[in-house]
Structure 1
Amino acid sequence: MLDCPESDSTTGVNPLVASANYNQPEIVIYLLEEGRYDIKFSELHTLMLWAAKRGHTQVVKLLLADQSLDTQKLSSNAFLSAARNGHVEILRLLVANASTNPLPHMRTENAFMAACEQGRLEVVEVLVSPTGANVDPSCRQNGGLKLACISKNTQLVKFLLDDPRVDPASQNQAALSSALTSRDIDMVELLLEDGRSNLSKLDPGVITNCTKFAPLRLVKMIFGAKHDIPIDTVELAYVEACKAG
């Protein structure tokens, strides 16, 4: 990469890595711009992951701009970290780099799942966009929606439900089950309003367990839903709700 020693002769630690370890992005940027130090790929990997996690966009730009590096490998490793931590601009840089160095589907899908779990709507929008990573939002049997239902981000769930490829009824109503288990009233309400989620299709144990410590509003929602829930399930859920007070 650069025509300089790999490490500080007095410490044996690469100054770039040392600066990253102390979270000093300005120093890292200076060293990269000045071309002061050579660096091994393993250290580059560490540096890219640090920048993607912390949101240091300029560091990522400089690393991707170096034509002597295997940026496909660097992008692949940093993709998940940027998505999980919600750094949209870094993700866009990595997506743009992937236009000439495609990322494995597993990597982009992993990033999508992580973004859904963390409730990162902007990240998800970039990942599913045809001009972005073009991830199928129904991948892994609609696993993204299931994870989004425990993220507390109703806007993200609305976004996913608006995509015709996403089916909230898949995997035995997994999305609704996830929302109920989390006792997220707004999320349950959103799924039921969508019309494709159905309480009567759930495992009875999910409803019973949910009503044990659920807020009154959620219990009323379950019992008042216009779904053909088996009477024995309703009765058992009612008993559990009463026990819990």
Structure 2
Amino acid sequence: MNGATALMSAAEKGHKSTVLVLLTAGASVDSVDKRRKTALMWAAEKGHHGVVEELLKAGTPVNATTSIDRDMNGATALMSAAEKGHKSTVLVLLTAGASVDSVDKRRKTALMWAAEKGHHGVVEELLK
């Protein structure tokens, strides 16, 4: 992870207790690496729903309101979780208010990514 922070590394590996220590110490939830990914995006992509919950509690924005909330391909945390088939992570993000209508640079939504990859459980959740 080039340009990653300690928080991103812990989030990507699913180390919830370490994420909590770093957040308590003041780690920034808004930092991005060279791929323009935040700690939330890494945790969502890897399916670490407990880490995603903690990052959201710490104030990480769930919706992409600025370019900082999207990776270099324009993907959001919800899109990454949906593409990888991480249903529990998708549910956490949806419960937090993640937008299902956001599109990436390819004009794909989270639903389109989940459907393309054959993640029927995720598709069902996104259609609710």
TM interval, shorter chain, is 0.7 to 0.9
Separation in structure 1 between the aligned mates of residue 56 and residue 15 of structure 2, nearest angstrom = 16
- Per-residue displacement from partner, 1:183-230 (whole Å, max 9, x unpaired)? 1111112212x2xxxxxxxxxxxxxxxxxxxxxxxxxxxxxxxxxxxx
Alpha-carbon distance change, 162 to 104 in structure 1, aligned in 2, over 3 angstroms: closer
- 2:77 maps to which of 144, 154, 173: 144
- 2:21 maps to which of 93, 113, 119: 93
Aligned match of 1:78: 6
Counterparts of 1:160-199 in structure 2, within 5 Å, are 160-164=93-97, 166-171=98-103, 174-192=109-127, 194=128
Query: Is the partner of 1:170 in helix, strand or coil?
Result: coil
Equivalenced residue count is 111
- Per-residue displacement from partner, 1:158-191 (whole Å, max 9, x unpaired)? 1211223x21012155101110121111111221
Aligned match of 2:52: 124
Q: RCO higher in 1 or 2 (8 Å CA, sep ≥ 6)?
A: 2
Separation in structure 1 between the aligned mates of residue 29 and residue 13 of structure 2, nearest angstrom = 20
Separation in structure 2 between the aligned mates of residue 104 and residue 179 of structure 1, nearest angstrom = 26
Alpha-carbon distance change, 77 to 88 in structure 1, aligned in 2, over 3 angstroms: same
2:5–2:31 Cα contact (<8 Å) kept: no
Asked which structure has the greater CA Rg, the reply is 1
Alpha-carbon distance change, 104 to 145 in structure 1, aligned in 2, over 3 angstroms: closer
Alpha-carbon distance change, 190 to 104 in structure 1, aligned in 2, over 3 angstroms: closer
Aligned match of 2:60: 135
2:102–2:109 Cα contact (<8 Å) kept: yes
Q: Flag structure 2 segments of 5+ consecutive residues without an equivalent.
A: none
User: Which residue type is aligned with residue 14 of structure 2?
Assistant: G
Separation in structure 2 between the aligned mates of residue 182 and residue 136 of structure 1, nearest angstrom = 26
TM-score (norm 2): 0.76
Alpha-carbon distance change, 104 to 186 in structure 1, aligned in 2, over 3 angstroms: closer
Separation in structure 2 between the aligned mates of residue 89 and residue 112 of structure 1, nearest angstrom = 15
User: Which residue type is aligned with residue 159 of structure 1?
Assistant: V
Residue 78 (structure 2) pairs with residue 153 (structure 1): no
User: Which residue type is aligned with residue 161 of structure 1?
Assistant: L
Separation in structure 1 between the aligned mates of residue 92 and residue 18 of structure 2, nearest angstrom = 22
Counterparts of 1:216-227 in structure 2, within 5 Å, are none
Aligned-pair identity (%): 26
RMSD between aligned residues: 2.2
User: Which residue type is aligned with residue 137 of structure 1?
Assistant: V
- Per-residue displacement from partner, 1:55-93 (whole Å, max 9, x unpaired)? xxxxxxxxxxxxxxxxxxxxx731111000000011111
1:79–1:107 Cα contact (<8 Å) kept: no
TM-score (norm 1): 0.42
4+ long deviations beyond 6 Å: none
Separation in structure 2 between the aligned mates of residue 118 and residue 135 of structure 1, nearest angstrom = 17
From the two aligned structures, give the one with the greater helix fraction. 1
1:80–1:110 Cα contact (<8 Å) kept: yes
